[in-house]
């Protein structure tokens, strides 16, 4: 695809721009590849249960009150013999030894354990209701296998673990139940195939039954993370009936005082809103937007990031959905986020602003009324370049959909100087967007009979010099657009210079 086509594609993908009547929303295209680049670090797909110390276990399951099993180091051959044998004590020792190998912080031998062929036997141990320590160790071992690659997860699923783990959600032993939740989170996190397999096995109701005020925080954290993985993945999206079941629990969890629980609940809503407008509407209809906007103002980065992502998704929707976010108070929070200490937050806030600016002029007016022009100009002037690029799009959208009077306010806010300075950027796509924006500013000036005044302002800010320099830019499209602007609005000045 040529650079011009890529540029046109992004313009088309902004919602309701009039450039393409069928494009009602801006899809999360190439810009979101960058915005989501660190997603795996922010909210990971799978988690291994790693030992907290190398000598003893903090969460070793007691066989009787006060009694704990002594750790035994076994070879792979001894593990195979113990697991396949009939002695309950050796079964437990072998399973525990397996779990310990898989709980190593570095290079756990997952493939080697799978090659032993003991997964079906470990799954069988999950059904031993009269031997909770063995259930627990087997569940932990399988959890860490499922935390590996997709092939590792596949081995657990094909070993018949799904119904056994779902059954253990109702175990009277909390640690067994929690380990099963963890395992199901890893399996659902692998992709839509196993997520939907779990949904079809009716995993959601017993999982939701665990969400209770009586549930300890450490357990509720795992439940919330697992629920977020049931909301994750596209192609296909989660079934809507499953979404409707999960959302009431998420609404409750968003009110929890623990930041990890709140964070994973927000990630869940971000996944659910990262789709078509009807998917967005399902979340909007719950009435949780005000709470999410409130969480955008949290001092905790792990909360702000997914809350901002969710509301950012909402404003890619219809004008009505965007207005729902505005009514929830998002414009009051955005100035602070545009000035956030973290450049990634600035960038997502600018991305959100660019989508609101892509709306009708009455929504653009709300941006002005809420004082968003000064922080936008400041970001354009002093922000990280990735954030500046999103700020450029916000200004471009403002000049495309705003009224002449609104564009005048934009210019009066001081936007022109930082915008022209960014013509020195190395990114051709950004330069093209700026040139398009400059053309829009001149179109507004023409309507007011102020073209000459704008020309003088651009010259005073060294803009003409920068435009002329672009005529020898490496990118031919940049050269042509810059030349067009010069010939249309500055040809008199150029001619007089030549004379």
Phi and psi (nearest 5°) for 269? -70, -30
Has residue 32 got a pLDDT over 80?
no
Q: Under DSSP, is residue 51 helix (H, G, I), strand (E, B) or coil?
A: coil
Q: Are 69 and 107 in contact (CB under 8 A)?
A: no
pLDDT band at 30 (very low <50, low <70, confident <90, very high): very low
Which of the residue ranges 21-35, 48-62, 286-300 would you say has the lowest mean pLDDT?
Answer: 21-35
Helices within 159-258 (DSSP H only): 161-168, 174-189, 192-200, 204-208, 217-231, 240-253
Has residue 39 got a pLDDT over 50?
no
- pLDDT digits 0-9 by tens, 125-170: 999 999 999 999 999 999 999 999 999 999 999 999 999 999 999 9
Q: What is the pLDDT of residue 16?
A: 41
SS3 content of the chain, % helix, strand, coil (to 5): 70, 0, 30
Return mean pLDDT, the chain: 89
Has residue 55 got a pLDDT over 90?
no
- pLDDT digits 0-9 by tens, 222-264: 999 999 999 999 999 999 999 999 999 999 999 999 999 999 9
- Residue 197 CA to residue 157 CA, distance in Å, equals 10
Q: Is-cis flag, bond preceding 236, omega within 30?
A: yes
Which of the residue ranges 12-26, 96-110, 344-358 would you say has the lowest mean pLDDT?
Answer: 12-26
Q: What is the mean pLDDT of residues 167-194?
A: 98
Q: What is the pLDDT of residue 81?
A: 98
pLDDT band at 14 (very low <50, low <70, confident <90, very high): low
Q: What is the pLDDT of residue 46?
A: 86
- Residue 310 CA to residue 292 CA, distance in Å, equals 8
Q: Terminal CA-to-CA distance of the chain, rounded, Å?
A: 42
- Residue 334 CA to residue 308 CA, distance in Å, equals 9
Q: What is the mean pLDDT of residues 208-212?
A: 98
Q: What is the pLDDT of residue 42?
A: 54
DSSP designation for 85:
S
Q: What is the mean pLDDT of residues 409-437?
A: 97
Q: What is the pLDDT of residue 54?
A: 39
CB neighbour list of residue 355: distance below 8 Å, 6 or more residues apart = 14, 15, 26, 312, 315, 316, 322, 397
Distances (CA, A) of 450 to 149, 151, 265, 436, 463: 62, 66, 51, 18, 17
pLDDT band at 387 (very low <50, low <70, confident <90, very high): very high
Has residue 496 got a pLDDT over 80?
no
CB neighbour list of residue 398: distance below 8 Å, 6 or more residues apart = 357, 364, 367, 406, 407, 410
Query: Does 47 or 450 have the greater pLDDT score?
Result: 450
Q: What is the mean pLDDT of residues 298-321?
A: 98
- Residue 315 CA to residue 25 CA, distance in Å, equals 9
Q: What is the pLDDT of residue 70?
A: 57
- pLDDT digits 0-9 by tens, 76-120: 999 999 999 999 999 999 999 999 999 999 999 999 999 999 999
Which of the residue ranges 55-64, 105-114, 357-366, 391-400 would you say has the lowest mean pLDDT?
Answer: 55-64
Give the predicted TM-score (pTM) of the model: 0.89
- The total number of residues shown for the chain amounts to 499
What tokens were used for 303?
């909360």
């Amino acid at each position: 695809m040529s650079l011009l086509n890529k540029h046109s594609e992004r313009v088309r993908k902004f919602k309701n721009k009039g450039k393409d009547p069928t494009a009602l929303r801006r899809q999360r295209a190439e810009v979101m590849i960058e915005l989501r680049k660190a997603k795996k670090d922010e909210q990971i797909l799978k988690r291994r249960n790693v030992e907290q110390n190398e000598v003893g276990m903090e969460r070793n399951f007691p066989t009787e009150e006060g009694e704990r099993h002594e750790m035994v180091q076994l070879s792979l051959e001894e593990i195979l013999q113990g697991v396949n044998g009939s002695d309950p004590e050796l079964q437990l020792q072998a399973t525990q030894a397996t779990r310990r190998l898989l709980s190593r912080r570095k290079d756990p031998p997952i493939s080697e354990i799978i090659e032993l062929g003991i997964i079906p036997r470990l799954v069988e141990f999950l059904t031993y209701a009269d031997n909770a320590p063995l259930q627990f160790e087997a569940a932990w071992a399988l959890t860490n296998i499922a935390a590996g690659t997709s092939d590792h997860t596949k081995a657990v699923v094909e070993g018949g673990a799904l119904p056994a783990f779902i059954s253990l959600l109702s175990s009277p032993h909390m640690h067994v139940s929690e380990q099963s939740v963890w395992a199901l989170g890893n399996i659902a996190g692998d992709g839509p195939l196993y997520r939907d397999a779990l949904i079809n096995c009716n995993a959601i109701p017993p999982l939701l039954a665990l969400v209770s005020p009586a549930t300890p925080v450490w357990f509720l954290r795992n439940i919330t993370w697992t629920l977020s993985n049931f909301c994750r993945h596209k192609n296909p999206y989660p079934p809507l009936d499953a979404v409707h079941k999960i959302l009431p629990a998420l609404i409750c969890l968003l009110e929890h005082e623990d930041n990890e629980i709140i964070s994973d609940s927000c990630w869940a809503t971000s996944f659910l809103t990262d789709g078509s407008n009807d998917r967005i509407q399902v979340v909007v209809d719950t009435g949780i937007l005000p709470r999410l906007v409130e969480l955008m103002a949290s001092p905790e980065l792990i909360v702000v990031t997914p809350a901002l992502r969710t509301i950012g998704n909402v404003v890619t929707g219809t004008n009505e959905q965007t207005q729902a976010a505005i009514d929830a108070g998002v414009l009051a929070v955005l100035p602070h986020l545009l000035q956030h200490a973290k450049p990634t937050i600035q960038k997502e806030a600018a991305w959100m602003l660019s989508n609101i600016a892509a709306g009708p002029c009455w929504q653009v007016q709300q941006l002005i009324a809420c004082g968003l022009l000064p922080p936008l100009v400041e970001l354009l002037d002093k922000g990280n370049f990735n954030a500046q690029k999103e700020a450029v799009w916000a200004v471009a959208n403002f000049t495309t959909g705003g009224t002449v009077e609104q564009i005048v306010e934009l210019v009066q806010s001081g936007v022109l100087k930082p915008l022209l300075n960014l013509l020195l950027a190395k990114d051709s796509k950004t330069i093209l967007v700026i040139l398009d924006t400059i053309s829009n500013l001149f179109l507004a000036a023409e309507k007011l009979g102020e073209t000459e005044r704008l020309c003088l302002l651009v010259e005073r800010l060294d803009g003409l010099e920068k435009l002329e320099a672009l005529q020898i830019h490496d990118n031919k499209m940049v050269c042509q657009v810059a030349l067009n602007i010069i010939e249309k609005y500055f040809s008199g000045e150029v001619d007089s210079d030549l004379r």
